[in-house]
Amino acid sequence: MLHNVNHIGIAVQSLEDSIGFYRDALAMPLKGIEEIAGQKVRVAMLQVGESKIELLEPTSADSPIARFLEKNGPGIHHIAYEVADIEAAIAQLTQSGVRMIDESPRAGAHDSRIAFLHPKSSGGVLTELCQVKSS
Ligand code: ZN
């Protein structure tokens, strides 16, 4: 069902202050920055092999990322696994008794479709399913 770790999401106060470490010190190519209005975040994607690091900056005080930063400070926010068929993956997980935050997919970065599992079902690790746009 899962293909690979597509990305690891990291909550940051500021993309501008955080990108340098990954792009310059770790020499990870910056793939792009985009705003996802529905989730009130700005996202920077940096490539590492077949996986990515997704830096998440809140764009408003009521962003879920703003609340995360308030509670935990900057750090790892979620792990995203790549799936070929996100509807099938959600159905399979639901059938296995896993609780989903998103019972149907929503729009993610770079035209991907994503769905979050409920952290109560994943040992406190916020877990995302991610179906990338087939090109
Ligand atoms: Zn993500």
User: Is residue 95 scored above 60 in pLDDT?
Assistant: yes
CA angle centred on 72, ends 74 and 68, rounded to 5° = 80
Ligand 1: centre distance to CA 22 (Å)? 17
Mean pLDDT, rounded, for 101-107: 94
User: Is residue 134 scored above 90 in pLDDT?
Assistant: no
- How long, in residues, is the chain? 135
Lowest mean pLDDT across 17-26, 61-70, 109-118: 109-118
CA angle centred on 65, ends 78 and 55, rounded to 5° = 60
**Domain map (residue ranges) of the chain:** 2-131
Ligand 1: centre distance to CA 128 (Å)? 6
Ligand 1: centre distance to CA 5 (Å)? 10
pLDDT in tens, 30-86: 999 999 888 899 999 999 999 999 999 999 999 999 999 999 999 999 999 999 999
Average pLDDT, the chain: 94
pLDDT in the model for residue 135: 56
- Which CATH number describes the domain made up of 2-131? 3.10.180.10
Identify the three-state secondary structure at position 18. helix
Ligand 1: centre distance to CA 68 (Å)? 14
Ligand 1: centre distance to CA 8 (Å)? 7
User: Is residue 109 scored above 90 in pLDDT?
Assistant: no
Ligand 1: centre distance to CA 7 (Å)? 6
* 44 vs 32: CA distance, rounded Å: 6
Ligand 1: centre distance to CA 47 (Å)? 13
